[in-house]
Amino acid sequence: MKVTLFIPCFVDLCFPRVGMSMVTILERLGHQVTFHEDVICCGQPAFNSGFWEETRVVARKVLQRLESSEAVVIASGSCGAMMKVFYPEIFDHAPEAPAARALAAKCFEFSEFLVNRLGVTDLGARFPAKVTFHDGCHGLRELGAKKPARALLSRVKDLTLVEMKDAETCCGFGGTFAAKFPMISTAMGEVKCLSAEETGADYIVSNDSSCLMHVQGLLDRQGKKVKTIHLAEILASA
Amino acid sequence: MSEILKLFKAQASKVAGDLRHRSLIQTALGKYETQRDRRKAAFQSWEEARQVAAETKWEAMRSLDEHLVSFVNKLEARGTRVHWASNGVQARDIILGVIRAKKARCVIKSKAMTAEEIHLNEAMEKEGYEVVESDLGEFIVQLRKEAPYHIVFPAMHLTRDEISDLFHRELGSAQTSDPEELTMIARRALRKKYIAADIGITGANFAIAETGMISITENEGNARLTAALPKTMITLLGIEKVLPRMADLALFLPMLATAGAGQPITCYNSLYGGPRRPGEPDGPEEYHVVLLDNRRTELLADAEQRDALHCIRCGACLNVCPIYRNVGGHTYGTTYSGPIGSVITPHLRGLQDWKHLSAASSLCGACTETCPVKINLHHHLLHNRRNAAAQNPNWIEKTAFRVFGTVMNSLALYRVVRAAARCLQPLHGLVKGGPFDPARAWTKTRELAPVAPKTFREQWKERA
């Protein structure tokens, strides 16, 4: 299959390994990966702040550039939700509505794509560590993808998954929220870090780098030992 | 920044960092969660029950005018005096008018969030009437001269020792940490008040259009006493409380108990349809029902958000909300706190003054997922943000997002920003976390992820 990869701006800049791991995995599965260098961002920060017209400016370009793609794999549940759930909403009753719905139908968050679209769970990965999984809210609730990531992790050799208490509770990132209400966001992050630490895991895994960026930022500041890692990085390891 | 927002931010920062508060709420709600999940499992299908409940409320709101007329006609036929109040001032005047006409002195009240909404107690006290809250939690916060902390658990933020201290100070009781003894202290104080009261004021959980009856569901029996003992009973309720049929209670009562308190059903469930009839041994001689609009019809006119009127005030969205759990109920400064409060307060009290509550959310969606009547809560927060920005944009933010759009649509500009970030990154350490750090909101408590030596785009290009 010809798979178009959508790499969100912050993954491009700060977490390139996540994107490269996805390329490795998809190619290993025999798919042809394409990437549009000029498709940079889904527009979510503007959307979440209430500036829907400014969002449409960015979204129109995404719609146009991804129009001919066969399948679009998005390296973040949050950006995935933006394109799959919210593009149809911001273009509701607009000329772009059919294009937005067409794109939504072929957009997949990475783990969802592997398990639900390709039917793959065993990627032959090996990762000798104890990990706990954090459900990113957008992937979990907007896309309804709780099972795929766990199905994938369950087939990784030498990996032990320990569920944390309240794995489904938000880490407190929330995009612009983290900067607008830093104390609330930090408190939420502290609760999340503590739940993860209580499991005794070496790694906090998620399929959303935005959550991990927040959690890792807190862990680093507090000098904690537990580390964060994206699901794709684990799946690409052998 | 408005005064309301300043206060919210200050209070939120204070409570969010308060570890004692955090653990208190986590413990209280942890117990609730266990019970709730057990009770949910007792439904044949909780998801289907939610769907039926949402559709029933949808039907109720779609023909609200007809349902209200039926409700009122049936109530009046039994001798109930029904009053329509467009706003809080009118509702207060109606209630004060009844109290004055009865030459009453003491009022006993059971739990009613609508009464909080229109500041009824303050209005009655200002006129010199003695008002006593009969719900245990409400009684406690009234003694503390505080607003309810939660719409279902008004005193959830207090420990039994704090309550013992309060009773000792205000009621002269001996100190005890036994919850049953604390309840008995309140009970002894309240029994006297029921007997002395001339007026009993209640809220309502549901208004049955088909039969013209008020449904009140409770655990303490205090609403029954409030309704049965005084000679005059007044019920204040929002017009959205309507359910079309009596049979709907078969779903809504267990659902409210499950979502609200993790109970199969509450201990006392009563229906009120009018004053005491000839030959009946008890009940009020006069019954008044006050129907409150207070901008609910404006919300009804909003096709996008009218499902917010489906709310049955179970508090489930507050309980699962990580914002509520970290900032606490009082920080909101509103009658209705938590996600539902953040959605409806801008409609009830003004968008510009209360838009910050919609911004103060990570949009995690736990509220929408738990809501028993399927209100699209977290998406409505997005709608409020959009409406607020369209009506009165913050120009700095608007300009920033215009620039953001231009940069994200141009690979050349994006590369410039990337290069700038790389150049500035080594200098950031000099100001990090301090007053001159432009990223201070983040870096005060968190490390910033560095720009990678080679971005994904750069690595992708090298492969080609």
**Number of folded domains that form chain B:** 3
Q: How far is CA A124 from CA A8, A120, A153, B48, in A?
A: 27, 11, 11, 40
Domain shared by B287 and B320, yes or no: no
Domain shared by B290 and B357, yes or no: no
Q: Is the pLDDT of residue B268 over 90?
A: yes
Q: Is the pLDDT of residue B1 over 90?
A: no
Which residues from chain B sit within 8 angstroms of residue A134, using beta carbons?
none
Looking at residue B175, what DSSP letter applies?
P
* DSSP assignments along A52-70, one per residue: HHHHHHHHHHHHHHHTT-S
**Per-residue pLDDT at A8:** 96
Query: Which of A19, A51, A187 is opposite residue B456, by nearest beta carbon?
Result: A19
Among all residues of chain B, which has the CA nearest to that of A219?
Answer: B446
Domain shared by B32 and B73, yes or no: no
CB of A113 less than 8 A from some CB of B: no
Query: Which of A14, A20, A188 is opposite residue B362, by nearest beta carbon?
Result: A188
Question: pLDDT band for position B282 (50/70/90)?
Answer: confident
Instruction: Return the minimum-mean-pLDDT range out of A136-150, B77-91, B255-269, B430-444.
Output: B430-444
Q: Do B450 and A47 touch (CB under 8 A)?
A: no
**Per-residue pLDDT at B373:** 98
Q: Which helix (H) or strand (E) holds A18?
A: helix A16-28
Q: Do A37 and B411 touch (CB under 8 A)?
A: yes
Which residues from chain B sit within 8 angstroms of residue A141, using beta carbons?
364-366, 368-369
**Per-residue pLDDT at A185:** 98
pLDDT, one tens digit per residue, over B419-446 is 999 999 989 988 988 888 989 999 999 9
Query: Which of B368, B445, B459 is opposite residue A182, by nearest beta carbon?
Result: B445
- Say if B399 falls within a structural domain: no
- Say if B405 falls within a structural domain: no
Domain shared by B3 and B52, yes or no: no
Looking at residue A117, what DSSP letter applies?
I
- Say if B280 falls within a structural domain: yes
Which residues from chain A sit within 8 angstroms of residue B399, using beta carbons?
none
Which residues from chain B sit within 8 angstroms of residue A217, using beta carbons?
442, 446-449
Which CATH number covers residue B94? Answer: 3.40.50.10420
Q: Do A38 and B451 touch (CB under 8 A)?
A: no
Domain shared by B271 and B154, yes or no: yes
Query: Which of A10, A48, A184 is opposite residue B323, by nearest beta carbon?
Result: A184
Separation between Cα atoms, residue B144 and residue B141, nearest integer Å: 5
Which residues from chain A sit within 8 angstroms of residue B418, using beta carbons?
13
Question: pLDDT band for position B356 (50/70/90)?
Answer: very high
CB of A14 less than 8 A from some CB of B: yes
Q: Do A170 and B322 touch (CB under 8 A)?
A: yes
- Say if B300 falls within a structural domain: no
- Say if B67 falls within a structural domain: yes
Domain shared by B341 and B285, yes or no: no
Domain shared by B16 and B81, yes or no: no
**Per-residue pLDDT at A207:** 95
**Per-residue pLDDT at B433:** 84
CB of A189 less than 8 A from some CB of B: yes
pLDDT, one tens digit per residue, over B42-66 is 999 999 999 999 999 999 999 999 9
Domain shared by B418 and B384, yes or no: no
Last-in-domain residue among B252, B267, B294? B294
A100: left (phi over 0), alpha (psi -120 to 50) or beta: alpha
Q: Is the pLDDT of residue B382 over 90?
A: yes
Query: Which of B366, B452, B461 is opposite residue A13, by nearest beta carbon?
Result: B452
- Say if B426 falls within a structural domain: yes
Domain shared by B118 and B237, yes or no: yes
Tokens 């998406």 belong to: B379
CB of A198 less than 8 A from some CB of B: no
Which residues from chain A sit within 8 angstroms of residue B361, using beta carbons?
174, 177
B25-38: average pLDDT = 95
Among all residues of chain A, which has the CA nearest to that of B461?
Answer: A37
B396-417: average pLDDT = 96
Question: pLDDT band for position B21 (50/70/90)?
Answer: very high
Domain shared by B388 and B421, yes or no: no
- pLDDT > 90: what percent of chain B? 96
Print the domain residue range for B378. Answer: 1-42+311-392
Question: pLDDT band for position B355 (50/70/90)?
Answer: very high
- Say if B301 falls within a structural domain: no
Q: Is the pLDDT of residue A160 over 80?
A: yes
Long-range contacts of B405-414 (CB under 8 A, 24+ apart): B405/A43, B405/A46, B405/A54, B405/A55, B405/A57, B405/A58, B408/A9, B408/A40, B408/A41, B408/A43, B408/A58, B409/A40, B409/A57, B409/A58, B409/A61, B411/A37, B411/A38, B411/A40, B414/A9, B414/A40
Question: Is the CB of residue B445 less than 8 Å from the CB of residue A219?
Answer: no
- Average pLDDT, whole number, for chain B? 97
**Per-residue pLDDT at B247:** 98
Last-in-domain residue among B239, B264, B294? B294
Which residues from chain B sit within 8 angstroms of residue A183, using beta carbons?
12-13, 16-17, 445
Reported ipTM: 0.97
Domain shared by B138 and B34, yes or no: no
- Say if B368 falls within a structural domain: yes
Torsion of Cα atoms, A69 then A71 then A72 then A78, to 10°: 140
CB of B391 less than 8 A from some CB of A: no
Tokens of A94: 């607009």
Domain shared by B193 and B289, yes or no: yes
Domains assigned to chain A: 2-116 (no CATH), 121-236 (3.40.50.1860)
Tokens of B175: 């100190």
**Per-residue pLDDT at A238:** 80
Query: Which of A15, A58, A170 is opposite residue B408, by nearest beta carbon?
Result: A58
Q: Do A40 and B12 touch (CB under 8 A)?
A: no
Which residues from chain B sit within 8 angstroms of residue A173, using beta carbons?
362
Q: Is the pLDDT of residue B126 over 90?
A: yes
Question: Residue B350: what residue type?
Answer: G
Q: Do A174 and B388 touch (CB under 8 A)?
A: no
Global pTM reads 0.97
